[in-house]
A and B are shown apart, each in its own frame.
Chain A
Amino acid sequence: MARDPTRLLTHRLARWVDSRLGAAKLVRTALNKVFPDHWSFMIGELGLYCFIVLVLTGVYLTFFFDASQQEVTYNGSYAPLRGVEMTAAYRSALELSFDVRAGLVMRQIHHWAALLFLASIAVHLARVFFTGAFRRPREINWIVGCTLLILALLNGLFGYSLLDDQLSGTGLRIVYSITLSIPVVGTWLASLFFGGEFPGPDIIERLYVIHILLIPAAIAVLLAVHLAILVRHKHTHFPGPGRRDDNVVGERLWPTYAAKALGLFFLTSAVVAFLGGVFQINPIWIYGPFDPAEVSAASQPDWYMGWLDGALRIMPGWEIRAFGFEIPNPFFPGVLLAGITFLLLYAWPFLEARVTGDHAEHHVLDRPRQRPVRTALGTATISFYTVLFLGGAADVMAATFGLSVNAILWTFRILVLVLPPIVAWITYQLCKELAARDGVPIASRVTWREIPGRLRRRHAAAEAD
């Protein structure tokens, strides 16, 4: 028979720790924590694992990257650029790609992981939206999540702007001009952020500190808060037998869920490693060093900035000039649209609660078809940003299909206004039919016509209940 288990080293070590921390009860609660099993609940997890990959590969890159705008002459192993004047930042990125062993694969894994990080955040956001997981008591976590999205967007943008190749320099040129377009304070903001007029003598050094320290630290803290709140609330679950608002049905953390999560971490890392190894991304040596006087067609940002780039292209050439001042054109797509986007995003849980008058606690998720209005608004919003995103590729489409850029832009200008209502109407009808077919009760009895009135009457619905 086996030895007395209390004499095992692991057992004695556990007792030693417990006698100093008294953690047995707490850890047991953690081990027995229940996580509902649904494929859509993994998407946020993917983002978390991408972040871990980003930190690990990012640390490796910092050992070699030189965030300096000092002008140097390239003399490295990539022959086509030998003798070319460039910044030390761009040179060190070239060295990372060609001379540091495992440098290129780390750079490409880092970039692919960033793309996937943003993708999983976006899809996770959509999942939370369409299932109503943002409702009370999860509004705070919705706000934390939206902040994480903004931080991730900014850090992606700042990350690829560091390398000072032609493409990233073009991106910074646009960032500078959008900053400059802000009424009253724009000139000051742009000058303070870039350290002067574009290209700005200090911008790379500043972006570097922001990219590798400030934003990652903020993301790490907010991720911890995001997860702590998740643990506090316990996970939501989809409707099903025995699933109520006062329980949670799923698997225990130990050992099944923990093993699955660990497996998912390895799979996520495997996917980005494969992408980083096999699919070239951001080949900065082809773009060449940044020269403010040059630009190439088909200058597209990373995918998650595409909607903003598209908005800049689709926007008609309007500016406001009055009393000797002006509001430049990029303000509307670059600042106003982005501002409204994130404002509505933050405000959504509160707006919806006001319209529906539903201020109760929810832990059972909605199926999208149960909430035709919300689902319709969601798909309409997605179609709006998809049109903007495609608008960012107008020049590429024109070149590829031999069409006129103007015709394509006009098409997008019309589509961006016309498509969302059509998508909303179709979604609404689909939801109602699907719900009727399934015999699922429509949870929200709010109709389109009532929405403005309900927004005006504060808490009228709540009082009526």
Chain B
Amino acid sequence: MSDAPRQVAGETVLTRRGVRVELASAASFVVAMLASIGLAVVYWQGGQPQAEGVLLALALGGIGVGIVLWAKHFMPNDEVVEEREPLESSEEDVAAFTADFAAGQSSLRSRRVLVATAGGACAALGVAVLFPIRSLGPRPGRGLKETPYRTAPIRVVTNEGEPLRPEDLPVDGFVTVWPEGHTDAADASTLLIHVRDSQDFQPAPGREDWTVDNIVAYSKLCTHVGCPVGLYQAELGLLLCPCHQSTFDVLEHARPIFGPAARSLPQLPLDTDEQGYIIATADFSGPVGPGFWDRDR
């Protein structure tokens, strides 16, 4: 039933409901108006994000509600039928198109040499203009397989650039360190972890002398998609990546034991220098972070 005004004995009469809806519609336009004024005032007074958001929502919403009420109650809403034409072109149209297209095409077909050489010229141009894509970035090179630790022996330092002695890191402690002078190198972030004596640390074959006083160092970059592996559960000796819950066993050369990661965290061989500070004796045991095509080559 429409709330539109009706003609009764030649006079236009609003239904009772119609009056109410019209009032509601007008009221929401008024709300929108006031909200807009409020918005300007709030901005004028120095701004306030919550008030700005709410008033903007009221201004937009008021207009929206007003329009929808108006359309729903006072505009013709009788259902009408629109026929669907068949989508496919008629056979005559297809035939006419094919004929005209072929007429033009025949002038191409009859010049096979020109078609071939023009195609070749365009293809060659297409290839040539792809070359400047190379300007966008350098050749990947060895950068993915190396970190600043390649200049080892090199001291490891904290975020503040301080070198560390083994006794600076308590049992169960773990700290993020960097190669000295490279505390901003994204590929060189390293976790130093002091495992308990009682925990049965199992070095990988050939890495028996890579630890210093139960302190072991791994790349902090998850081998899944490169998030920092920031959570250490000292009780279990587990490193957990907060992004996708890959879990690495610190006691077993950071072997992945759960989650999507499929490779161990690369390990950093440690030693101490003459002053007793912890140093790295070589680069990581493998490329850090996520995998890539020629990682092993």
Residues on A lying within 8 angstroms of B by beta carbon are 15, 18-25, 27-28, 31-32, 60, 63-64, 100-103, 106, 252, 254-256
Contacts and interface: CB of A to CB of B under 8 A. Distances in A.
Contacts of A21: 87
B88 A19 contact: yes
B123 interface: no
A287 B65 CA distance: 59
A18 B101 contact: no
A31 B104 contact: yes
Interface in B90-107: 93-94, 96-97, 100-101, 104-105, 107
A302 to B, nearest CB: 25
A102 B97 contact: no
Contacts of A63: 135-136
Contact of A255 (B93, B105, B131): B105
Given A18-B94, A255-B105, A255-B108, A102 B100 contact: no
A41 B107 CA distance: 25
A24 B97 contact: yes
Interface in B205-220: none
19 contacts: A19-B87, A20-B87, A21-B87, A22-B87, A22-B88, A22-B89, A24-B94, A25-B89, A27-B97, A28-B93, A31-B97, A31-B100, A31-B101, A32-B100, A63-B135, A64-B135, A101-B134, A101-B135, A102-B132
Most buried by A among B96, B104, B107, B136: B104
Given A22-B86, A31-B101, 14 more contacts: A18-B89, A22-B87, A22-B89, A23-B89, A25-B93, A28-B93, A28-B100, A31-B100, A64-B135, A100-B135, A102-B135, A254-B100, A254-B101, A255-B104
Interface in B118-145: 131-132, 134-136
Contacts of A101: 132, 134-135
Contacts of A24: 89, 93-94, 96-97
Contacts of B87: 19-22
Main SS class of interface, A: helix
Contacts of A32: 100
B97 A25 contact: yes
A102 B128 CA distance: 12
Contacts of B135: 63-64, 100-103
B119 to A, nearest CB: 13
Contacts of A15: 94
Please tell me the size bucket of the interface on B: 20 to 34
B228 to A, nearest CB: 29
B88 A28 contact: no
A28 B94 CA distance: 9
A22 B131 CA distance: 40
Contacts of A256: 104
A31 B86 CA distance: 23
Nearest to A31: B100
B190 to A, nearest CB: 31
B115 to A, nearest CB: 12
Contacts of B94: 15, 18, 24
Contacts of B100: 28, 31-32, 254
A417 to B, nearest CB: 49
Contacts of B108: 255
A258 to B, nearest CB: 8
A106 B93 CA distance: 46
A307 B94 CA distance: 55
B107 A255 contact: yes
B97 A28 contact: yes
A301 B85 CA distance: 58
Contacts of B107: 255
Contact of A254 (B86, B89, B104): B104
| Residue of B85, B89, B94, B105 with most partner-chain A CB within 10 A | B89
A398 to B, nearest CB: 43
Contacts of A28: 93, 96-97, 100-101
A60 B132 contact: yes
Interface in B37-96: 85-89, 93-94, 96
B103 to A, nearest CB: 9
A60 B136 CA distance: 9
Contacts of B136: 63
Contacts of A25: 89, 93, 96-97
3 closest cross-chain pairs (CB), A and B = A24-B89, A255-B104, A102-B132
A18 B90 CA distance: 10
Contacts of B131: 102
Contacts of A20: 87
Nearest to A24: B89
Contacts of A100: 135
B108 to A, nearest CB: 6
A25 B95 CA distance: 10
A24 B92 CA distance: 10
A43 B88 CA distance: 39
Nearest to B87: A22
Contacts of A255: 104-105, 107-108
A23 B96 CA distance: 12
A358 B184 CA distance: 75
Nearest to A254: B104
Contacts of A64: 135
A60 B132 CA distance: 9
A362 B97 CA distance: 31
A24 B105 CA distance: 16
A106 B87 CA distance: 46
Contacts of B93: 24-25, 28
A267 B93 CA distance: 36
Nearest to B129: A56
Nearest to A106: B132
A272 to B, nearest CB: 14
B104 A18 contact: no
A53 to B, nearest CB: 12
Interface in B130-164: 131-132, 134-136
A404 B51 CA distance: 65
B104 A252 contact: yes
Nearest to A96: B135
A27 B97 CA distance: 8
A102 B132 CA distance: 6
A61 to B, nearest CB: 11
Among the interface residues A64, A106, A255, which one has the most CB atoms of the partner chain B within 10 A?
A255
A64 B96 CA distance: 50
B135 to A, nearest CB: 5
Nearest to A105: B132
Nearest to B102: A5
Question: Which of A20, A22, A64: most chain B CB closer than 10 A?
Answer: A22
A450 B191 CA distance: 92
